[in-house]
Amino acid sequence: MKKIQTLLLLAGMTFSSAQAIEVCSNHEIVGVKYQVSEIKNGKQTSKQVNVWRNKNAVLYEYPQTRIAEYWYKTPNASKEFLQLTRYFDEFKRGIEYQSKEIRSNNKQQHWNRLYHVFTPKRLAKYQKSMTKGQTCTQVSHYHIPNTVKQVEWLEHYQLPKSFTLGQKGSTYQWTLIELVSEQKQVLSRFSKRGEFKTTDYADVGDNESDEFLSQMINQGF
Amino acid sequence: MKLLTKISILATSVALAACNGDDGQNGTDGKNGQSSFVLQTVVQPGHAVCANGGIQIDSGLDKDGNGKLDAGEITSTTHQCKPTKTSLSQSDLLTNANNNWYVQSAKSVEDAKQMALKANNERGGAKNVILFVGDGMGVSTVTAARIRDGQNKGMKGEENNLSFDKFPFAGLAKTYNVDAQTPDSAGTMTAMISGVKTDVGVLGVDEDIERGNCTTVSGNELVSAIELAEIAGLSTGVISTARITHATPAATYAKSADRNWEDISDMPDAAKTAGCKDIADQLVNFETNLEARYDGLDVDGLEVVMGGGRRHFLPKDAAANSPDARSDIEGDRTDGRNLVNEWKAKYPNGDYVFEDDGFRAINPETAERIFGLFNESHMQYEADRSNDVAGEPSLTDMTEKAIKLLDNNDKGYMLVVESGRIDHGHHAGNAYNALEDTIEFSEAIEKAVRMTNPEETLIIVTADHSHVFTIAGYPKRGNPILGKVVAIGKTEPEKAADDKPYTTLGYTNGRGFMDLGAETDADAGYDQDIHAGRADLTDVDTTTPGFHQEAAVPRSSETHAGEDVGIYAKGPSAQLVSGTNEQSIIFHVMEHAIDLINKAETKLKP
Ligand SMILES: [Zn+2]
């Protein structure tokens, strides 16, 4: 039996030191599942977002819509370095977008947001109040005084355990519900989509006879 | 302005004279008398009766007493015309003759006369043929690109000419496919390169095919001009800025029941089992396949193949990635084959290149053949070329290198050059890229014109189909073509009925307005929404590369259009391009120009 290194981070739980010798799992290959809640005009909505990280690639899963976004950062490329493939799990198909088709001028910052979920640049504007836990499970607390804005930061993974944005009465909150460090489980999320048939976004216009694409053309994607 | 002169003459009522004898009873009052009118109207030169102008005189009675002479009340019309001229003196034409438009167009007629006199109708009068295809380059695209190019050069723009605007002969092509009013590139390029119109989505096969059904290919294959040129012993080349396995270039060398079978992973199992080959495979094995079809034929294969599309030639294995790979795994092939290596093994003296440095290092005067795959998918838009990871040659660079290599053959050559991404710019609803790619296409054509002898090389420029792209409103002369409509005499943009400004360029359908040029929020991500209809463009710079024009009908992708496209020609047999034609005429003009079928047949005779 393989040892499953899945740590459940439920509310009120603290990191246990279950492992006798603490060997930190690879922070470059990791999965984090978040509950994303938004409160606006007294109404609360929530959804789940799963983020899977594999070195130069990050996969965002949106289970509600069965859509996943695969972001790949080309190594050693200064300009055209960010590729996006949007996977439609229901159809086992994907659309590939090139860097220029991605709505962002600052690709590096965009990548940082994807990789860290919360950009370190933004975090630098917050005040650090305390740090708890051992090396692998260390969590630092950050906030901006007199606002609702706060972040719990997993130092080893450089990922948020939780963060809250917005203002009183209108907040946007990400809370970690599960951290997956078993590499096989993380990589399977990538390899599963790698089998899907993909289409270059530039080719969509010439492929209206394709049932999936024509459906997407009418629905918008 | 007409001068209306009304002269009214008051009619008098005359009382009855008294008779002798008793006076009778007074009679009833008589009716009022009618007024009579004479109407004089000044008529201008060009009038049906008074050719040089004069006065028209209408007369009659105002029967209905409404105080004017209505059309139905006119009983007589006469004219007093100015005297007619008996000769046209020089001074009469002075205003015309001193005008530059007049001088210019008179010269154009003289030039046309000379071209008609010199026209070479001889079969086989050309040694070489170059066919340039602008994918999706409809007439509105040509016009807008011409203006954009002129404005880039500091001109007002409209008066500018693209390289092929200056070609002496032009005609129109009806682009519809056998089964479709609005066509696609596969059916249209098959028509141009094989002389036979066919269905949407199929390559190198006639209309008896069933799209996607491999078993219907056999017996319906067409012969392409590139194959005939190859058999005839000419040098042959195919270039595209799209993937080299994409519909337009593929129609020159492949036969496929579906344009999307670019590599084996794109094919259904039934097609693989039935023995159909993917398009990339057909490209690498072009020579072998052609020789297999004709007994005893020995050809030397394509000398020039350049474009994008590495993904279809490489196995799905990161180990096969090119040094400048964009994706983690570049190749798509699921059969484990590396067609680049197969090509290298087949042509040990050939040069395979994947980036600009390697391309530049090739000496075309000594090179035997070039296989260039410069991108995993399509090559970059010209405007983005400088952003490419390892660097790509421009369409002009590729055209120049190709001609230098191909013209080493004394028997001549046939070259097909596609600007493949004009189409993609339009599908994305982004005129900027469509126009910049059209301008680069024009540059490549200019290069070919300068490098070739007009007495031995036929150059044809055309498009496979158009797009729903319009040049609208009443912008003043010289108004930036990517800008908002500013009317004659105005400096501020016009407003539509919704009180918002609007751009000159627009699309009938598509994604619609997007302003990526001004987007600074890195968190925004890729925009999923379709924004058809109107947007407030008041504070938007519509001339940036990231601006996407508005569209009326919401769709994720803008569509092709069904109107005719231009065919522009220069060189021997160019005069055969005239009038409105089925698109398949292009094959026949090329065939006539280099006497392709006879040359090929001679070669096949034992
Ligand atoms: Zn198209």
**What value does the mean pLDDT take over residues A76-99?**
82
The residues, ordered by sequence, that sit 6+ positions from B105 with a Cβ below 8 Å of its Cβ are none
CB pairs under 8 A between A and B: 108
Query: Residue B528 in contact with residue A221, Cβ under 8 Å?
Result: yes
- Sheet of strand B54-61: strand arrangement: B4-9, B36-43, B54-61, B74-81
Contact between residue B139 and residue B567 where contact means Cβ atoms under 8 Å apart: no
Residue B374 has pLDDT above 90, yes or no: yes
Q: Lowest-confidence range among A14-28, B44-58, B309-323?
A: A14-28
Smallest CA–CA distance, residue B427 to chain A, in Å, is 6
Nearest chain A residue to B212 by CA distance is A209
How is chain B split into domains, by residue range?
120-468+559-604, 484-558
- Report the residue from A83, A103, A113 with minimal CB separation from B326: A83
**Distance (Å) from CA A210 to ligand 1 centroid:** 14
**Nearest by Cα to A48 from A177, A140, A146:** A177
- Two tokens, residue B517: 């040029």
**Chain B residues within 8 A of A216 when measuring between CB atoms:** 556
pLDDT number for residue B9: 36
Q: Which of B200, B260, B528 sits opposite A221 (nearest CB)?
A: B528
At B97 the pLDDT is 87
Mean pLDDT of chain B: 91
Q: pLDDT digits over B281-297, tens only?
A: 999 999 999 999 999 99
Of B293, B207, B222, nearest in space to B254 by CA:
B222
Whether residue B180 has pLDDT greater than 70: yes
Q: For residue B22, what pLDDT band results from cuts at 50, 70 and 90? A: low
Q: Does B247 touch chain A (CB under 8 A)?
A: yes
Residues 6+ positions from B592 with CB-CB distance below 8 Å = B123, B573, B576
Q: In CATH terms, is domain B120-468+559-604 a member of 3.40.720.10?
A: yes
A74, A104, A205 ranked by CB distance to B524: nearest: A104
Select, from the ranges B8-12, B95-99, B342-346, the one with the highest average predicted confidence (pLDDT).
B342-346
Task: Supply the ipTM of this predicted assembly.
Answer: 0.80
Chain B window 543-582: which residues touch A at a Cβ cutoff of 8 Å?
554-559
Chain B residue closest to A82 (CA)? B326
SS3 string, B246-302, reads CHHHHHHHCCECCCCCCCHHHCCHHHHHCCCCCHHHHHHCHHHHHHHHCCCCCCCCC
- Interchain pair B522, A86: CB under 8 A: no
What integer pLDDT is reported at residue B7 of this predicted model?
Answer: 37
Distances (CA, A) of B283 to B184, B295, B512: 21, 21, 37
Q: Give the Cβ contact number of residue B320 at 10 Å.
A: 20
Q: How far is CA A141 from the centre of its chain?
A: 20
Tokens of B67: 């105080």
Say whether pLDDT at A46 is over 70.
yes
Distance between first and last Cα of chain A: 42
Disruptive mutation site among B211, B258, B327, B548 for chain A (greatest number of A CBs within 10 Å): B327
CA triplet B179, B185, B191: central angle to 5 degrees? 65
Whether residue B373 is predicted with pLDDT greater than 80 in this model: the reply is yes
Instruction: Round to whole Å and give the CA distance between B241 and B515.
Output: 26
pLDDT tens per residue across span A169-191: 888 899 999 999 999 999 999 99
Beta pairing partners, B569:
B169, B460
**Assign residue B303 a region: left if phi > 0, alpha if psi is -120 to 50, beta otherwise?**
alpha
- If pLDDT is split at 50, 70 and 90, which confidence band does B32 have? low
Give the pLDDT of residue B161.
98
Residue A136 — pLDDT band, cuts 50, 70, 90?
confident
* pLDDT at residue B404 in the model: 98
Q: For the CA atoms of chain B, what is the radius of gyration?
A: 34
State the pLDDT confidence band at A80, using cuts at 50, 70 and 90. Answer: low
What is the whole-number distance in angstroms between the Cα of residue B542 and the centre of ligand 1?
Answer: 24
A residues 22-61 near B, CB within 8 Å? 56-57
- Cβ proximity of B556 and B527 under 8 Å: no
- Chain B residues 152-211 with a CB less than 8 Å from chain A: 184-185, 200-201, 211
Report how far ligand 1's centroid is from the alpha carbon of B303 (Å). 28
> Quick check: B222 pLDDT over 60?
yes
Task: Give the closest-approach CA distance of A72 to chain B in angstroms.
Answer: 7
Residues with CB under 5 A from ligand 1 (ion): A 205-206; B 423
Predicted confidence at residue A105, as pLDDT, reads: 64
pLDDT given at position B31: 63
Q: In 10 A of CB B524, how many CB atoms?
A: 14
CA of B278 to the centre of ligand 1 (A): 21
This prediction's pTM: 0.84
Least confident stretch, A138-152, B158-172, B474-488, B527-541: B527-541
Query: What's the CA gap between B509 and B506, in Å, rounded?
Result: 9
Q: Minimum mean pLDDT among A88-102, B119-133, B230-244, B457-471: which range?
A: A88-102
Q: Give the tens place of pLDDT for each residue, B491-509.
A: 999 999 999 999 999 999 9
Q: Best of A56, A74, A85, A100 to disrupt the B interface by mutation (most B CBs within 10 Å)?
A: A100
* H-assigned helices in B119-246: 139-152, 185-194, 225-231
Mean pLDDT over B140-161 rounds to: 98
Catalytic machinery residues of B: 185
Binned at pLDDT 50, 70 and 90, residue B356 comes out as very high
CA-based nearest residue in chain B for residue A216:
B556
- Quote the pLDDT of residue A11: 38
Amino acid at A80: E
Q: Report yes or no: B146 and B157 within 8 Å, Cβ to Cβ.
A: yes
Q: Cα–Cα distance between A38 and A48 in angstroms, integer?
A: 12
Question: Cα separations (Å) of B384 from A101, B238, B565?
Answer: 12, 23, 27
A140 has a pLDDT exceeding 80: yes
Per DSSP (E only), the strands in A74-136 are 82-88, 93-97, 127-132
> Between A84 and B252, whose confidence is greater?
B252
Which pairing describes strands B565-570 and A127-132: parallel, antiparallel, or unpaired? unpaired
Q: For residue B396, what are the contacts with CB-CB under 8 A and spacing of at least 6?
A: B440, B443, B444, B447
pLDDT per residue over B227-269, tens digit each?
999 999 999 999 999 999 999 999 999 999 999 999 999 999 9
Instruction: Name the percent of chain A lying above pLDDT 70.
Output: 82
Residues linked to residue B582 through DSSP beta bridges, in sequence order? B174
Percent of chain A with pLDDT over 90: 51
Instruction: Tell me which chain B residues have a C-beta less than 8 angstroms from the C-beta of A166.
Output: none
Specify whether the CB–CB gap between B111 and B117 falls below 8 A: no
pLDDT of A132 above 70? yes
Strands (E), B44-94: 54-61, 74-81
Q: Give the model confidence (pLDDT) of B79-116 as tens digits.
A: 998 887 777 777 778 888 889 999 999 999 999 999 99
The Cα A26–Cα A179 span in angstroms is 12
Task: Return the pLDDT at B531.
Answer: 79
Please tell me the predicted confidence (pLDDT) of residue B36: 84
3-state secondary structure B551-564: EEEECCCCCEECCC
Measure the CA–CA gap between B243 and B378, rounded to whole angstroms: 5
Q: How far is the CA of B333 from the centre of ligand 1 (A)?
A: 24
Distance CA A90, CA A106 (A): 32
Residue A51 has what pLDDT? 97
Q: What is the arithmetic mean of pLDDT over A16-45?
A: 80
Range in A136-145, B464-473, B572-581 the model is least confident about: A136-145
Q: Is B464 annotated as a binding residue?
A: yes
Decide if A145 contacts A129 (C-beta within 8 A). Answer: no
Q: How confident is the model at residue A100 (pLDDT cuts 50, 70, 90)?
A: low
**B591 phi and psi angles, rounded to 5 deg:** -60, -45
C-beta of residue B7 within 8 angstroms of C-beta of residue B36: no
Question: Over the stretch B395-427, which tens digit does the pLDDT of each residue have?
Answer: 999 999 999 999 999 999 999 999 999 999 999
Q: Which of B583, B454, B575 is nearest to B126 (CA)?
A: B454
pLDDT at A110: 84
Cα–Cα separations (whole angstroms), residue B575 to A132, A194, B116, B584:
84, 53, 8, 16
Would you say how long chain A is, in residues? 221
Chain B stretch 257-296, residues whose beta carbon is closer than 8 A to a beta carbon of chain A: 259-260, 265-266
